[in-house]
Chains A and B, each alone.
Chain A
Amino acid sequence: MSSFTDIRSAARAENRVILTEQESKTVLKAINIPITEPILATNSKEAANISSEMGFPVALKIASQDITHKSDVGGVRLGLDSQEEIVEVFDQMINTVKKEAKGSSIDGITVQPMAPPGGVEVIIGVTRDHQFGPVVMFGLGGIAVEILQDVSFRIAPLTPIDAEEMIKEIKGYKMLTGYRAFKPVNMDKLKDLLLKVSDLAMQESEISEMDLNPVFAYENDVVAADARIILTDN
């Protein structure tokens, strides 16, 4: 399996600092972080075959080294249930993205399993601060991070106490302890994920920023459904 070093070298050779979702997830998988694995399809038939092998529902996401905000250009479709739907959506998506993100190179479309329902959406991230070096962020995902900015930070490396406290510190913590239809999430797995991300940030000084967003947290597990790693400029 490719490690961070291989992927980084490949990106550097192409003068890229933003790793694709597939590359970012490969890095995470190598350190045993659960992900929904994207498989690249270059045509609609291939996508349909991959998805039926994978099992429905699936998500289709545009695969491009130039596009970082995939959903902004119509490059994300979630919860697709049949081969027919996949064939239809595949060509539509290629056309839309070509229009919305003119001139971007397109490698194809990735097919990936949908994270199961019933999870709480969280975000885990890393950034490299000019004063403090690598820092780790935790928060509720989706609207909570974008609008309420309900997040907590710790300077890496995290201790297990840091990981626990940064989870408990956010205002929406109660969302994680069981709320209406949501079961309490597995805190040990969530803490473990934070510690792994912290270790990665400490070890790889060429990681400038990283978002695992969203991560779905469940009663028994956690899974990163999307990820983006950005390398340092030099």
Chain B
Amino acid sequence: MDKERKANLDRALNPKVIAVVGDKKITDYMWLKSVKDAKAKVYSVQIDENDIPGIEAMGIDNRKSLADIPEQVDYAIIAVPRPVLPFILADCIKENVGAAAAFTSGFAETGEADGIELQERIIKMTSEANFNLVGPNCMCLYHAKVGIRNTADQWIGEGGNIGFMSNSGTHATNFVIRARSNGLYPAKSISMGNSISIDQGDWLEYLGEDPDIEVIGMYIEGTRDGRKFFETLREVAQKKPVVIWKGGQTKEGARAAASHTGHLASDMALWDAMIRQTGAIRVDTQDELMDTMKALLMMKPFTGENMGIIAQTGGQSVLVSDAFGSQELKVPALTEKTHERLRPIVTVVGGSYKNPLDVSGSLTSVERATEMLNGLHDDPNTDIIVMESSIGFIQRRLEKQGQGLDTLIEGLKAFQESSKKPFGVIATWNQNEGELADFRQKVSDAGIAVFPTFQAGAGAIRKVRDYYRKKETLGTK
């Protein structure tokens, strides 16, 4: 992407003036609503007399064409019928709009001749004019701190540090919504759609250079220019973590080939290879994406493999050890010094002061929990500290001290702040699910990584550990 294109894209993502073209009553003015809270002046362009009154009732200045807008438009959202798109695009080019994002669909993605032909026409227009078109067939752009959104349901505000890019509008949209309920703060989410003028490599480069963004995530099905994407990923993954969720994994096997190599080189085998060699992180579900991002953003960096674990009960301590063991992580014996320190506080009969701690009824107060965590933390044999929280069980004991889960979360937060080792919480689906969801939300909001299952926690911790290890390998050789 050249400097002019990048400057124009910056302008569109930080707009002073937004134009929404073709928004309709029948879709409840979804695009005007998506930008109505933006720190920008919003205009509508609509010629249909049925749709205009609703727009004006929202207090939005409607014009008959882009050319009638008295100010320079930075960002245009286009939701017009397919055959009209080329005309609106011509106006955008003429009026020097920074970028246009087209919700309009029905192009090459249909696989039909009409759509493909129309897409070719648009490609010609945008490339001749060196114009930024997002999509078509997309859910446009999200930028939290300026208030432009893929949908009005999304959170907006300051402090976002995650960049997301997606082949699918649904995943671009949902990422932002779900990330917030996992204590994560998205900064930008790009619905790339058919990516005809700004391709996957361009967006990756753009997010890679964005100083607000600490971690990049993506949902990707394929890329038009794999070589460019590979080379860009190789650079960007050195600067910040890139988490890749690849869809369409079983769509196509290997093609017919005259060699073993050609036969075995399936699409997924090559994506997996690229992810490994560039030092990016592979996830296979949105759940894994969330958990991996939490481990990246909320846990201190780590390359070790030794877990120090608190479990509430014996049954859980077995399962949690199994889960970490299956991810090439260890639950080592603690030193004798730590045993001496923990023995007097893990007193309940049937409990265990050995790693993983089975604290049972001994976790009687937040202060006690902190002592246990510090015991694990100070042991030279541990690298990563995790606490399994069966909340019903804990709550009953804390209540006797006049404490509750909120006090516990404060205690955990204080421990995390003082800790030199990465820390996470696992709150499994083993008791009241509604209460658990609420607890997790509060733990996340406190900035502590909380995982919904042992497998999820172990998987995310391993992926992130492998990321830091690979970074070290690439950095030192």
Contacts and interface: CB of A to CB of B under 8 A. Distances in A.
Contact of B477 (A129, A161, A166, A213): A161
Contacts of A159: 277
Contacts of B262: 125, 127, 208-209, 230
A131 B268 CA distance: 12
Given A133-B227, A135-B265, A161-B477, A127 B277 contact: no
Interface string A128-142: 011111010101000
Nearest to A123: B260
A155 B474 contact: no
A150 B430 CA distance: 38
Contact of A165 (B260, B267, B274, B277): B277
A63 to B, nearest CB: 18
Contact of B222 (A123, A131, A145): A131
A211 B265 contact: no
A224 interface: no
Contact of B259 (A151, A161, A165, A230): A230
Contacts, number: 85
A151 B257 CA distance: 16
Contacts of B273: 135, 152-155, 166
B409 to A, nearest CB: 40
B261 A137 contact: yes
B459 to A, nearest CB: 19
Nearest to A211: B259
Interface string B248-277: 000000000111111011010110111011
Nearest to A162: B277
A77 interface: no
A19 B58 CA distance: 71
B110 interface: no
A207 to B, nearest CB: 11
Contacts of A135: 265, 270, 273
Contacts of A154: 273, 276-277
A206 to B, nearest CB: 15
B10 to A, nearest CB: 29
Interface residues of A, number: 36
A122 to B, nearest CB: 12
Majority secondary structure, A binding face: strand
Given A127-B265, A160-B477, A155 B230 contact: yes
A130 to B, nearest CB: 8
B223 interface: yes
Given A137-B264, A169-B276, A209 B257 contact: yes
Instruction: Give the interface residue-count category, chain B.
Output: 20 to 34
A209 B277 contact: no
Give the most central of A139, A155, A165: most B CB within 10 Å.
A155
B262 to A, nearest CB: 4
Contacts of A151: 264, 269
Contacts of B277: 154-155, 159, 162, 165
A209 B35 CA distance: 51
B392 interface: no
B473 interface: yes
Interface in B461-477: 473-474, 477
A146 interface: yes
Interface in B214-263: 222-223, 226-227, 230, 257-262
Contact of A161 (B223, B258, B473): B473
A127 B223 contact: no
A149 interface: yes
B201 to A, nearest CB: 12
Given A153-B273, A155-B273, A161-B477, A129 B261 contact: no
A132 B274 contact: yes
A162 to B, nearest CB: 5
Interface in B65-97: none
20 contacts: A18-B258, A130-B226, A132-B270, A132-B274, A137-B261, A139-B264, A146-B260, A149-B264, A153-B270, A154-B276, A155-B230, A155-B274, A159-B277, A166-B273, A208-B262, A209-B259, A210-B259, A211-B259, A211-B260, A211-B261
Nearest 3 A-B pairs (CB), nearest first?
A: A125-B261, A131-B226, A153-B273
Given A135-B270, A137-B264, A160-B477, 7 more contacts: A149-B264, A153-B270, A153-B273, A154-B273, A155-B270, A209-B259, A228-B259
